[in-house]
């Protein structure tokens, strides 16, 4: 999931690889959990930020109801194009939107949601203020953020592999999504943006991958990591993928991988 003013670009073949390989391994379990929470709110309007390829978006019409208005957005045009093609529902509009500067009216949504996007905000306090601004009174802001990388062993393997091949100038992508897990900081940021009734839950779920090869492809070729590798030494990419595949096989087996995941689910209310 991608958002405002970040040098991390999800373009070219990355969105397709991201959805195919990382979707079931990282994002689908949490999309189901978040969709269930949104459904319990019975919102008439939902703004989804950092919607990516639409893993959560495709579930929203069913849980929010066909009469609900859903605006799905992402900073990266390639992600929006992929999501729009994937989620073809009359109740869903797709737009390229900057989460830090929402081109939307005050008090215009019952729910604002972001699945694994807030970690990428360059100005998180401002983005939270914007989410608060566009929510109606008593509206809900709901988002997920990864817990520390040590609680997410598949991503940790990828990061270790990158450090092994690039001990100097290591591609830094995995330092970003696993950087916003301090619950006291999250609570402070939301309170300063004007939110109340803040609740932070730890969710431990399980993702799946068909094979170590699919997992390795997703971890590298489904993220901007592949671009960083190519910029440093494109010739090393096949060897790196093979090395990571072997490490994944050692840890998770050769097929039908069960991948433990840990993230925070945060809800807050506009008073």
Give pLDDT tens digits for 85-144.
Answer: 999 999 999 999 999 999 999 999 999 999 999 999 989 999 999 999 999 999 999 999
pTM for the model: 0.94
Going by C-beta distance under 8 Å and a sequence separation of 6 or more, which residues neighbour residue 113? Answer: 34, 38, 46, 47, 48, 49, 56, 141, 142, 143
Question: Residue 185 has which token pair?
Answer: 């900081």
- Report the alpha-carbon distance of residue 162 to residue 70 in Å, rounded: 38
What percent of the residues of the chain are helix, what percent strand, and what percent coil, each to the nearest 5?
45, 25, 30
Q: Which of 191, 251, 182, 185 is nearest to 215 (CA)?
A: 251
pLDDT tens by residue, 200-224: 999 999 999 999 999 999 999 999 9
Strand segments (E) across the chain: 45-49, 69-74, 92-96, 109-115, 135-146, 195-209, 257-270
Domains of the chain: 14-148+174-207+262-270 (3.40.50.150)
- Report the alpha-carbon distance of residue 199 to residue 180 in Å, rounded: 16
3-state SS assignment for residue 60: helix
């Amino acid at each position: 999931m991608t958002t405002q003013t970040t040098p991390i670009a999800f373009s070219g073949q990355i969105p397709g690889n991201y959805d195919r390989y990382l979707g079931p391994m990282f994002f689908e379990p949490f999309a189901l959990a978040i969709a269930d929470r949104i459904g319990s709110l019975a919102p008439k309007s939902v703004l989804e930020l950092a919607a990516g390829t639409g893993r959560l978006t495709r579930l929203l019409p069913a849980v929010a109801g066909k009469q609900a208005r859903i605006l799905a957005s992402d900073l990266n045009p390639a992600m929006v194009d992929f999501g729009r093609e994937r989620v073809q529902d009359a109740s869903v509009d797709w737009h390229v939107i900057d989460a830090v500067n929402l081109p939307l009216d005050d008090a215009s949504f019952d729910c604002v949601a972001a699945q694994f996007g807030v970690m990428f905000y360059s100005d998180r306090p401002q983005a939270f203020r914007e989410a608060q601004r566009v929510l109606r009174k008593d509206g809900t802001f709901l988002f997920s953020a990864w817990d520390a990388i040590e609680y997410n062993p598949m991503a940790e393997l990828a990061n270790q592999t990158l450090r092994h091949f690039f001990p100097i100038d290591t591609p830094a992508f995995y330092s970003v999504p696993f950087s916003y897990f301090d619950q006291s900081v999250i609570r402070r940021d939301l309170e300063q943006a004007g939110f109340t009734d803040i609740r932070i839950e730890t969710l431990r779920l399980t993702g799946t991958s068909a094979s170590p090869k699919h997992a390795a492809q997703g971890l590298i070729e489904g993220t901007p990591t592949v671009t960083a590798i190519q910029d440093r030494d494109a010739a090393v990419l096949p060897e790196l993928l093979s090395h990571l595949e072997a490490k994944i096989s050692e840890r998770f087996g050769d097929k039908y991988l069960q991948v433990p995941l840990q993230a925070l689910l945060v809800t807050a209310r506009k008073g």
